[in-house]
Amino acid sequence: MSMSDEAKQNDNQPVSAGPAETGKNKPDAGSADLPANSGAGKLAECEKQRDEYLNSWKRAAADFINYKKEESKRLEQFAGYAAIDFAKDLLPVLDSFNLGMNAVDKESQEYKGMLMISGQLQEVLRKKGIERIVVARGDRFNPEFHEAMLEVELPPDDPEREKLSGKILEELVPGYSSNGRVIRAAKVKLAR
Protein backbone atom coordinates (compact mmCIF):
# COMPACT_ATOMS: atom_id res chain seq x y z
CA MET A 1 0.00 0.00 0.00
CA SER A 2 1.35 3.35 -0.95
CA MET A 3 1.20 6.53 1.03
CA SER A 4 -1.45 7.99 -1.18
CA ASP A 5 -3.64 4.93 -0.60
CA GLU A 6 -3.21 5.33 3.20
CA ALA A 7 -4.14 8.99 3.04
CA LYS A 8 -7.28 8.16 1.11
CA GLN A 9 -8.23 5.47 3.57
CA ASN A 10 -7.63 7.88 6.48
CA ASP A 11 -9.83 10.46 4.78
CA ASN A 12 -12.75 8.08 4.95
CA GLN A 13 -12.34 7.44 8.67
CA PRO A 14 -13.64 9.93 11.18
CA VAL A 15 -10.93 12.02 12.82
CA SER A 16 -11.04 11.95 16.62
CA ALA A 17 -9.59 14.58 18.83
CA GLY A 18 -6.89 13.61 21.36
CA PRO A 19 -7.58 13.41 25.08
CA ALA A 20 -6.32 16.95 25.67
CA GLU A 21 -8.84 18.40 23.24
CA THR A 22 -11.92 16.67 24.65
CA GLY A 23 -11.09 16.87 28.35
CA LYS A 24 -11.18 13.07 28.59
CA ASN A 25 -7.90 12.99 30.53
CA LYS A 26 -9.91 13.88 33.66
CA PRO A 27 -11.78 11.03 35.29
CA ASP A 28 -15.49 11.62 35.21
CA ALA A 29 -17.91 10.78 38.01
CA GLY A 30 -19.26 7.80 36.09
CA SER A 31 -15.86 6.15 35.51
CA ALA A 32 -15.80 2.49 36.45
CA ASP A 33 -12.14 2.63 37.63
CA LEU A 34 -12.64 5.10 40.57
CA PRO A 35 -15.31 5.26 43.28
CA ALA A 36 -17.85 8.02 42.83
CA ASN A 37 -16.79 10.02 45.95
CA SER A 38 -13.00 9.47 45.98
CA GLY A 39 -12.28 13.21 45.75
CA ALA A 40 -14.62 13.98 48.62
CA GLY A 41 -13.11 11.13 50.68
CA LYS A 42 -9.59 12.42 50.14
CA LEU A 43 -10.74 15.94 51.03
CA ALA A 44 -12.38 14.74 54.26
CA GLU A 45 -9.25 12.77 55.14
CA CYS A 46 -7.06 15.83 54.52
CA GLU A 47 -9.37 18.03 56.61
CA LYS A 48 -9.27 15.49 59.45
CA GLN A 49 -5.48 15.38 59.30
CA ARG A 50 -5.34 19.18 59.18
CA ASP A 51 -7.55 19.40 62.31
CA GLU A 52 -5.34 16.90 64.12
CA TYR A 53 -2.22 18.89 63.25
CA LEU A 54 -3.91 22.16 64.23
CA ASN A 55 -5.08 20.78 67.58
CA SER A 56 -1.64 19.32 68.22
CA TRP A 57 -0.06 22.67 67.44
CA LYS A 58 -2.54 24.46 69.75
CA ARG A 59 -1.73 22.05 72.59
CA ALA A 60 2.00 22.56 72.04
CA ALA A 61 1.52 26.34 72.04
CA ALA A 62 -0.52 26.18 75.27
CA ASP A 63 2.09 23.92 76.87
CA PHE A 64 4.80 26.38 75.91
CA ILE A 65 2.84 29.32 77.38
CA ASN A 66 2.34 27.36 80.62
CA TYR A 67 6.04 26.51 80.66
CA LYS A 68 6.95 30.20 80.30
CA LYS A 69 4.61 31.09 83.20
CA GLU A 70 6.11 28.38 85.41
CA GLU A 71 9.64 29.50 84.54
CA SER A 72 8.69 33.09 85.35
CA LYS A 73 7.39 31.99 88.76
CA ARG A 74 10.59 30.02 89.40
CA LEU A 75 12.69 33.04 88.52
CA GLU A 76 10.61 35.24 90.85
CA GLN A 77 11.06 32.69 93.64
CA PHE A 78 14.78 32.57 92.99
CA ALA A 79 14.95 36.37 93.12
CA GLY A 80 12.95 36.26 96.36
CA TYR A 81 15.42 33.80 97.89
CA ALA A 82 18.30 36.02 96.81
CA ALA A 83 16.59 39.01 98.46
CA ILE A 84 16.14 37.00 101.66
CA ASP A 85 19.84 36.10 101.71
CA PHE A 86 20.67 39.76 101.10
CA ALA A 87 18.38 40.79 103.98
CA LYS A 88 19.90 38.23 106.35
CA ASP A 89 23.31 39.78 105.67
CA LEU A 90 22.05 43.36 105.98
CA LEU A 91 19.85 43.04 109.10
CA PRO A 92 22.72 42.85 111.64
CA VAL A 93 24.22 46.00 110.08
CA LEU A 94 20.84 47.74 110.33
CA ASP A 95 20.52 46.62 113.98
CA SER A 96 23.93 48.09 114.79
CA PHE A 97 22.99 51.28 112.98
CA ASN A 98 19.79 51.56 115.05
CA LEU A 99 21.77 50.99 118.27
CA GLY A 100 24.06 53.83 117.21
CA MET A 101 21.02 56.04 116.62
CA ASN A 102 19.80 55.34 120.15
CA ALA A 103 23.15 56.54 121.53
CA VAL A 104 22.89 59.94 119.79
CA ASP A 105 20.91 62.92 121.09
CA LYS A 106 17.50 62.88 119.36
CA GLU A 107 17.61 66.64 118.75
CA SER A 108 21.00 66.66 117.02
CA GLN A 109 21.66 66.98 113.31
CA GLU A 110 23.53 63.68 113.43
CA TYR A 111 20.42 61.88 114.63
CA LYS A 112 18.31 63.43 111.85
CA GLY A 113 20.87 62.34 109.25
CA MET A 114 21.03 58.83 110.69
CA LEU A 115 17.23 58.68 110.70
CA MET A 116 17.19 59.52 106.99
CA ILE A 117 19.75 56.80 106.26
CA SER A 118 17.74 54.30 108.31
CA GLY A 119 14.65 55.22 106.27
CA GLN A 120 16.57 54.68 103.04
CA LEU A 121 17.76 51.26 104.20
CA GLN A 122 14.18 50.32 105.13
CA GLU A 123 13.04 51.45 101.65
CA VAL A 124 15.70 49.26 99.99
CA LEU A 125 14.42 46.28 101.97
CA ARG A 126 10.80 47.13 101.09
CA LYS A 127 11.67 47.24 97.37
CA LYS A 128 13.14 43.74 97.72
CA GLY A 129 9.89 42.51 99.31
CA ILE A 130 11.28 42.52 102.86
CA GLU A 131 8.99 44.14 105.43
CA ARG A 132 9.35 44.80 109.11
CA ILE A 133 7.05 42.81 111.40
CA VAL A 134 4.93 45.37 113.22
CA VAL A 135 4.96 44.91 116.99
CA ALA A 136 3.17 47.15 119.50
CA ARG A 137 2.85 47.15 123.26
CA GLY A 138 -0.08 44.97 124.28
CA ASP A 139 0.01 42.75 121.18
CA ARG A 140 -0.67 39.06 121.75
CA PHE A 141 2.47 36.94 121.61
CA ASN A 142 2.58 34.83 118.44
CA PRO A 143 5.47 32.33 118.28
CA GLU A 144 5.35 32.39 114.47
CA PHE A 145 6.39 36.06 114.41
CA HIS A 146 7.84 36.71 117.89
CA GLU A 147 10.68 35.31 119.95
CA ALA A 148 10.45 35.87 123.70
CA MET A 149 13.81 37.08 125.00
CA LEU A 150 12.68 37.74 128.55
CA GLU A 151 9.61 37.81 130.69
CA VAL A 152 9.15 40.37 133.46
CA GLU A 153 6.78 40.65 136.39
CA LEU A 154 4.83 43.90 136.41
CA PRO A 155 4.50 45.66 139.78
CA PRO A 156 1.30 44.77 141.68
CA ASP A 157 0.16 48.39 141.62
CA ASP A 158 0.52 48.73 137.79
CA PRO A 159 -2.93 49.51 136.38
CA GLU A 160 -2.17 47.56 133.17
CA ARG A 161 -0.97 44.42 134.97
CA GLU A 162 -4.07 42.32 134.22
CA LYS A 163 -4.46 43.70 130.71
CA LEU A 164 -0.82 43.04 129.71
CA SER A 165 -0.38 39.65 131.35
CA GLY A 166 1.17 37.27 128.78
CA LYS A 167 1.38 40.02 126.17
CA ILE A 168 4.21 41.97 124.58
CA LEU A 169 5.66 44.87 126.57
CA GLU A 170 8.24 46.02 124.04
CA GLU A 171 10.18 45.05 120.96
CA LEU A 172 13.87 44.51 121.62
CA VAL A 173 15.02 43.61 118.08
CA PRO A 174 12.82 44.12 115.03
CA GLY A 175 11.69 41.13 112.98
CA TYR A 176 11.33 40.92 109.21
CA SER A 177 9.32 38.85 106.75
CA SER A 178 9.11 38.32 103.02
CA ASN A 179 5.74 37.46 101.47
CA GLY A 180 4.44 36.17 104.80
CA ARG A 181 7.54 34.04 105.40
CA VAL A 182 9.46 35.04 108.51
CA ILE A 183 13.11 35.85 107.88
CA ARG A 184 13.79 36.78 111.48
CA ALA A 185 11.29 36.77 114.32
CA ALA A 186 10.88 39.96 116.34
CA LYS A 187 12.63 39.59 119.70
CA VAL A 188 10.30 40.85 122.42
CA LYS A 189 9.90 41.33 126.16
CA LEU A 190 6.75 39.78 127.67
CA ALA A 191 4.75 40.58 130.78
CA ARG A 192 3.96 37.76 133.25
Residue 24 — very low, low, confident or very high, per pLDDT cuts 50/70/90? very low
pLDDT at residue 188 greater than cutoff 50: yes
Mean pLDDT, the chain, whole residue set: 82
pTM of the model: 0.60
The per-residue pLDDT for range 59-84, each reduced to its tens digit, is 999 999 999 999 999 998 888 888 88
Domains delineated in the chain: 133-192 (2.30.22.10)
Q: What is the DSSP string of the chain?
A: --HHHHHHHHHHSPP---HHHHTTTSPPTT-SSS-TTHHHHHHHHHHHHHHHHHHHHHHHHHHHHHHHHHHHHHHHHHHHHHHHHHHHHHHHHHHHHHHHHHHS-TTSHHHHHHHHHHHHHHHHHHHTTEEEPP--TTPBP-TTTEEEEEEEPPPTT-TTHHHHTTBEEEEEE--EEETTEEEEPEEEEEE-
Higher pLDDT, 80 or 37: 80
Q: So what's the pLDDT on residue 30?
A: 44
Residue 166 — very low, low, confident or very high, per pLDDT cuts 50/70/90? confident
